A and B are shown apart, each in its own frame.
With several copies, the nearest count.
Chain A
Amino acid sequence: MKRIAHEAAKAAASVGALLIAAALGATVWSTARAAGAAAPPVLQSETAGVTPFAGLTPHELTYSTMDGLTGGGIRIIDGDTAKLVASVYSSQYANFAWAPDHRTLYVSETYWTLGNRGTREDVLSIYGGPTLSNEGEITLPGRLISDPKTHTFALSSDGRYGYDYSFQPAPAVTVIDLHSRKVAASVEIPGCGLVFPFGERGFASLCADGSLAVADVDAQGKYTVRRTKRFFDVMHDPVMDESVADGRSGLAFFVTYDGWVHPVQLADTPRFEKAWSLEQAAGMSAATSRGGQITWRPGGQVPFAYQRSRHRLFALMHEGPPWSFEKPGSEIWVLDARSHRLLHRWDVPESAYLVAVTADAHPLLFALSQSWLWVMDPDSGAVLRATQILTPGLVRVRGE
């Protein structure tokens, strides 16, 4: 009787679920019948509402689902319980960022009036309020539509401006005034792409010739774009789109396919520091793209995370040949970004495509594979908990 077996399995599963629920302090509903007592009281009727959202907590991770089949969507998972906390709708190929209040979520996204056709609408959607509900949209002049890229959308560190990278296919950065909810400027960045905000209103972009474009604005709101020197060799060892930048301090780490870290202090006149090698930091020879060398290399979808307070750079690393910069990491390397030393090499349970670290005093490390989120201790490498996820696109944690 398959049915009986099935029921038994279900019962066993529910016992397991109960134990987990109890362990995590989840509310357990029970109208336990007192032995030998009077009939239990009739359960009372309930009203339906929405669980309040008090803002992203320091240990919560926000991720967007990968495009294509799942068609977008943004989810918040509590790193302390590995449970889903909230979900926000988005189009596919969306990007998103939290305001400094940790309560307002901006989503850069694109719709067509008839799904895949009709009139195109590029918008910056605003979610917030007590239940993280939609609070309207700001119409954008255009957007890049691509696989997920962290640096296609960012806010100024004070949360006053949004910067959205557009490619139509002419490259530009749309500057959005989030107070007035209006597009403030559309800044052309010919030959460049992506956006890394710095200071109050400035931003930089990476350029196809190996330089940076630096945009600054005058008192009238007019942007001027200048190019820096070339600081990397784009044809032989380009810096990755998914480099890391700390918007607060303006410190960026542009990391190349071969694992060279270019620290750049973003400013009107950027300060380029000497590049150092992830592999040399581990006592190995530097990686090269020549001769098919198999060595440890950075790779994945979001392969780097930076913890400002302790100057630590986390990198997803794999053993592979040149041009393997999208292979997921079998290890997370923990590096001191000041001393250029490798501190730890942590194994991940399953090759990871994305990595993130929280910014608080008791940080959590997140490693994301195609279908699992692993919550880890950044200091011991221990896997604290895990949950199944939809294929992730981008990740954001609360900045402090």
Chain B
Amino acid sequence: MKRLDVDNLGERLTRRLAGRLSRRSALARLGALLVAAPAFPLLPVQRARAADAAQSKPKGTDFSRAAQTHDDKACNYWRYCGIDGNLCSCCGGSMHSCPPGSQPSPTSWIGSCINPDDDRAYLIAYRDCCGAKECNHCSCLNTDHAMPIYRPQANNHVIWCFGTQSFEYHCSMAVLVGLAQ
């Protein structure tokens, strides 16, 4: 299996989004300019976790067989294969935009999920929005390829609010990082 070139991830993340993405993405871009641009990857642990995610090829899990690509407010949306928490899409945000009143953490853990529309595995950054109280809408617990906490780079129980003003967990995003293979 080809290992992911993590050094290109930062560059990829700073690239403009393709034009075909929606109006909501335009809002997200604006949001990203208003807060500090997500510094990614920053920590050595993040390189390790991206490598992990690429290594554990997510073929044929129970989740991936039932996943859908239409509704980002449902727990079985394809990107949420490893999400644990409240979907930001149900809290006034989106899959890559925190609701007003919260801030995206620059750190996250990384999983990989299969998109049923193209059968490709993508790296997904499960990034927490921090600062407001727990949103309590659309609580999902998907654990595909989630690792124990002693392997934190792939663990969804850590509160990933390092680097923000607050450790108060509000909701979780599923930001598309790139192809896993």
Judge whether A283 is part of the interface by a CB distance below 8 angstroms: no
Contact between chains at A47 and B38 (CB < 8 Å):
yes
Mark contacts of B37-48 with chain A using CB atoms, 8 A cut-off: 1 yes-contact digit, 0 otherwise.
110000101000
Complex Cα distance, B133 from A390, in Å, reads: 12
**B136's contact among A43, A68, A205, by CB below 8 Å, is which?**
A68
| Residues on B with beta carbons closer than 8 Å to the beta carbon of A145 | 158-159, 161, 167
Mark contacts of A170-205 with chain B using CB atoms, 8 A cut-off: 1 yes-contact digit, 0 otherwise.
010000000000000000000011100000000001
| Residues on B with beta carbons closer than 8 Å to the beta carbon of A29 | 22, 69-70, 72, 77, 95
Judge whether B15 is part of the interface by a CB distance below 8 angstroms: yes
**A48's contact among B74, B75, B104, by CB below 8 Å, is which?**
B104
| Residues on A with beta carbons closer than 8 Å to the beta carbon of B115 | 31, 43
Known A-B contacts A50-B103, A84-B135; A117 and B12 likewise in contact (beta carbons under 8 Å):
no
Contact between chains at A390 and B136 (CB < 8 Å):
yes
Judge whether A228 is part of the interface by a CB distance below 8 angstroms: no
| Residues on B with beta carbons closer than 8 Å to the beta carbon of A130 | 34
Mark contacts of B112-124 with chain A using CB atoms, 8 A cut-off: 1 yes-contact digit, 0 otherwise.
0001011010100
Mark contacts of B154-181 with chain A using CB atoms, 8 A cut-off: 1 yes-contact digit, 0 otherwise.
0101110110011111100101111100
Known A-B contacts A7-B66, A10-B66, A169-B162; A46 and B28 likewise in contact (beta carbons under 8 Å):
yes
Mark contacts of A360-400 with chain B using CB atoms, 8 A cut-off: 1 yes-contact digit, 0 otherwise.
00000000000000000000000000000010000000000
Stretch at the interface among A13-21, A155-163, A217-225, A267-275: A13-21
Main secondary structure of the interface of A (DSSP, over half): loop
| Residues on A with beta carbons closer than 8 Å to the beta carbon of B147 | 208, 234, 238
Number of chain A residues close to chain B: CB under 8 A: 92
Judge whether B7 is part of the interface by a CB distance below 8 angstroms: no
| Residues on A with beta carbons closer than 8 Å to the beta carbon of B99 | 50-51, 84-87
Contact between chains at A87 and B70 (CB < 8 Å):
no
Known A-B contacts A84-B135, A85-B92, A89-B166; A49 and B97 likewise in contact (beta carbons under 8 Å):
yes
| Residues on B with beta carbons closer than 8 Å to the beta carbon of A71 | 133
| Residues on B with beta carbons closer than 8 Å to the beta carbon of A69 | 133-134, 136
Judge whether A336 is part of the interface by a CB distance below 8 angstroms: no
Complex Cα distance, B161 from A110, in Å, reads: 14
Complex Cα distance, B35 from A134, in Å, reads: 13
**A117's contact among B31, B93, B165, by CB below 8 Å, is which?**
B165
Instruction: For residue B178, give the distance in angstroms from its CB to the closest CB of chain A.
Output: 5
| Residues on A with beta carbons closer than 8 Å to the beta carbon of B167 | 110, 112, 116, 120, 145
Judge whether A247 is part of the interface by a CB distance below 8 angstroms: no
Known A-B contacts A238-B151, A323-B61; A30 and B97 likewise in contact (beta carbons under 8 Å):
no
Judge whether B132 is part of the interface by a CB distance below 8 angstroms: yes
Judge whether B50 is part of the interface by a CB distance below 8 angstroms: no
Contact between chains at A30 and B150 (CB < 8 Å):
no
Instruction: For residue B160, give the distance in angstroms from its CB to the closest CB of chain A.
Output: 9
| Residues on A with beta carbons closer than 8 Å to the beta carbon of B31 | 49-52, 131
Mark contacts of B1-35 with chain A using CB atoms, 8 A cut-off: 1 yes-contact digit, 0 otherwise.
00000000100111101100111110111111111
New A-B pairs, 4, CB < 8 Å, besides A28-B71, A39-B118, A238-B151:
A33-B118, A132-B100, A146-B157, A194-B150
Q: Which residues of A contact B (CB under 8 A)?
A: 3, 7, 10-11, 13-14, 17-18, 21, 26-33, 39-40, 42-53, 65, 67-73, 76, 83-89, 93, 110, 112, 115-117, 120, 127, 130-134, 144-147, 149, 167-169, 171, 192-194, 205-208, 234-235, 238-241, 291-292, 320-326, 390
Instruction: Enumerate 27 A-B pairs (CB-CB under 8 Å) in ascending A order.
Output: A10-B74, A14-B77, A27-B94, A31-B118, A44-B176, A46-B17, A48-B28, A48-B32, A48-B97, A49-B30, A49-B32, A50-B129, A51-B99, A52-B27, A52-B30, A68-B133, A88-B101, A89-B131, A116-B132, A131-B98, A132-B101, A144-B158, A145-B161, A146-B149, A169-B162, A323-B61, A324-B62
